[in-house]
């Protein structure tokens, strides 16, 4: 079932539940009991979800093996509960039988459960649960895979005015040049630094002339090279309060990724508040805090003169939160609400040019190719691009919230 169809089905179930008892609502309630049992490690909750004598099968290789109802843990929430995501992939409900496909995701594995439910003694209960568990790659291997896929070289280029793209294929870095020195927005991971320096030099500038380092958000793939760039250039680093604390920990203790993706720790030279302007030479950038992807995620905006015309440019921090635990999150309870508010805040910004922390969010590859063929019209000048992206992000958020376990 696609996300769109899953969302529609789950919204129907929510509506049915609001009206009162119905087969749809009863089946979803049993699913929620299973989610709750998994979250609490509670055998008692499980007994209320399963029919007596129900079969629980786990796939091991090519064989299905009978197993216990609880997955090797009971007696309390897991230590990493804030990172465990549970969601409904599909629900099919008939008069006498129903089926559901559920996903359980932890930092180390993904588990898919196919449920068969029937009426037992007048109430819906799970009569069969077939589980398939897949181990995830260790964090170091995931980082290597990410860099291999997204940190590929691209030819640097001028976007418009004094704004230049100096990043990689999937990880952005932007250079704003002034006679007083340059502003660098994001560096990518430390592995990207040699490429970043080559790209800056290929455009006729020097990394040594960077005077100000700004960050979209405190993840290794965006500020992983900040400490080394500051050593080489003496540039000042400014960041929001929440992300500054994350930078001081080197990425450890991230609400969504834990200690998986660390980078060299550093303390920013100054803090940036919501609505504050940062100035270097004739470049002025406005900070708009848009928490969700990180607690201190910062969307930057500026105005750039290009051929006698002033263009409003927005550098979106990143608003994707659908892989995260959005409900019942003990570490970041407001992540869903923050995301909703951040979408609204960004929607209020004017953007002739929409850019972002990852190239695939703003069609970097396609627009760069069209720009190389002709700068008139400039494909990056697209006042509707930001709104279209926000509509996709909001739809993704709605689908994730509808599919994930209900708030308790």
| pLDDT of the residue at 21 | 54
Alpha carbons 273 and 239: distance in angstroms, whole number: 8
| pLDDT of the residue at 8 | 45
Burial label for 396, CB within 10 Å (0-12, 13-18, 19+), is: middle
- Choosing from 82, 117, 135, the residue where a domain stops is 135
Note whether residue 295 is domain-resident. Answer: yes
Whether residues 183 and 282 share a domain: the answer is: yes
299 C-beta neighbours (distance < 10 Å), count? 23
Note whether residue 408 is domain-resident. Answer: no
| pLDDT of the residue at 3 | 44
Alpha carbons 353 and 351: distance in angstroms, whole number: 5
The whole domain housing 74 covers: 3-135
Alpha carbons 19 and 135: distance in angstroms, whole number: 40
Note whether residue 46 is domain-resident. Answer: yes
Whether residues 372 and 294 share a domain: the answer is: yes
| pLDDT of the residue at 6 | 45
Alpha carbons 6 and 400: distance in angstroms, whole number: 10
225 C-beta neighbours (distance < 10 Å), count? 26
Alpha carbons 257 and 82: distance in angstroms, whole number: 10
| pLDDT of the residue at 216 | 98
State the Cα torsion 80-82-85-86 to the nearest 10°: 100
Which DSSP string corresponds to 27-55? HHHHHHHHHHHHHHT-HHHHHHHEEEEEE
Mean pLDDT by 10 residues, the chain (408 residues): 46 44 86 93 88 93 86 74 96 94 97 96 94 96 97 98 98 98 98 98 98 98 98 98 98 97 98 98 97 98 96 97 97 97 98 98 98 95 98 98 94
β-strands 181-185, 174-178 pairing: antiparallel
Whether residues 354 and 221 share a domain: the answer is: yes
| pLDDT of the residue at 74 | 63
| pLDDT of the residue at 23 | 77
| pLDDT of the residue at 19 | 41
Alpha carbons 318 and 359: distance in angstroms, whole number: 11
| pLDDT of the residue at 45 | 85
* Number of domains within the chain: 2
| pLDDT of the residue at 196 | 98
β-strands 123-135, 109-120 pairing: antiparallel
Whether residues 233 and 277 share a domain: the answer is: yes
The pTM of the whole model exceeds 0.75: yes
Kind plus residue range of the DSSP H or E element containing 140: helix 139-150
> The CATH number of the domain where 327 resides is what?
3.60.15.10
7 C-beta neighbours (distance < 10 Å), count? 19
Which DSSP letter does residue 254 get? Answer: B
């Amino acid at each position: 079932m696609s996300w769109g169809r899953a969302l529609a089905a789950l919204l129907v179930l929510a509506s049915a539940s609001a009206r009162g008892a119905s087969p749809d609502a009863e089946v979803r309630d049993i699913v929620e009991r299973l989610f709750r049992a998994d979250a609490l490690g509670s055998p008692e909750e499980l007994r209320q979800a399963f029919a007596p004598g129900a079969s629980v099968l786990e796939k091991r290789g090519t064989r299905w093996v009978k197993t216990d109802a609880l997955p090797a843990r009971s007696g309390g929430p897991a230590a990493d509960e804030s990172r465990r995501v549970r969601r409904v992939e599909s629900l099919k409900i008939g008069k006498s039988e129903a089926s559901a496909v559920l996903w359980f995701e932890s930092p180390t594995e993904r588990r898919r459960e196919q449920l068969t439910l029937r009426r037992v003694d007048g109430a819906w209960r799970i009569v069969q649960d077939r589980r398939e568990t897949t181990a995830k790659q260790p964090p170091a291997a995931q980082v290597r895979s990410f860099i291999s896929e997204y940190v590929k070289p691209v030819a640097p280029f001028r976007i418009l005015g004094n704004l230049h793209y100096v990043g990689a294929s999937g990880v952005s870095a932007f250079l704003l040049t002034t006679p007083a020195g340059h502003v660098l927005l994001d560096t990518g991971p430390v592995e990207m630094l040699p490429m970043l320096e080559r790209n800056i030099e290929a455009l006729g500038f020097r990394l040594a002339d960077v005077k100000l380092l700004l960050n979209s958000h405190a993840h290794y793939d965006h500020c992983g090279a900040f400490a080394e760039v500051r050593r080489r250039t003496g540039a000042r680093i400014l960041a929001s309060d929440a992300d500054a604390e994350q930078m001081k920990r080197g990425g450890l203790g991230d609400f969504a990724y834990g200690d998986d993706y660390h980078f060299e720790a550093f303390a920013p030279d100054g803090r940036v508040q919501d609505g504050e302007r940062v100035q270097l030479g004739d470049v002025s950038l406005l900070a708009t805090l848009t928490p969700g992807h990180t607690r201190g995620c910062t969307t930057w905006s500026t105005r750039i003169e290009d051929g006698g015309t002033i263009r409003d440019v927005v550098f979106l921090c990143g608003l994707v939160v659908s892989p995260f635990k959005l409900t019942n999150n003990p570490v970041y309870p407001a992540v869903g609400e923050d995301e909703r508010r951040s979408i609204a805040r960004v929607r209020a910004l004017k953007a002739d040019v929409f850019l972002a922390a990852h190239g695939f969010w703003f069609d970097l590859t396609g627009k760069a190719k069209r720009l190389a063929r002709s700068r008139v019209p400039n494909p990056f000048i697209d006042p509707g691009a930001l709104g279209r992206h926000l509509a996709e992000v909001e739809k993704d958020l709605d689908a994730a919230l509808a599919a994930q376990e209900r708030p308790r």
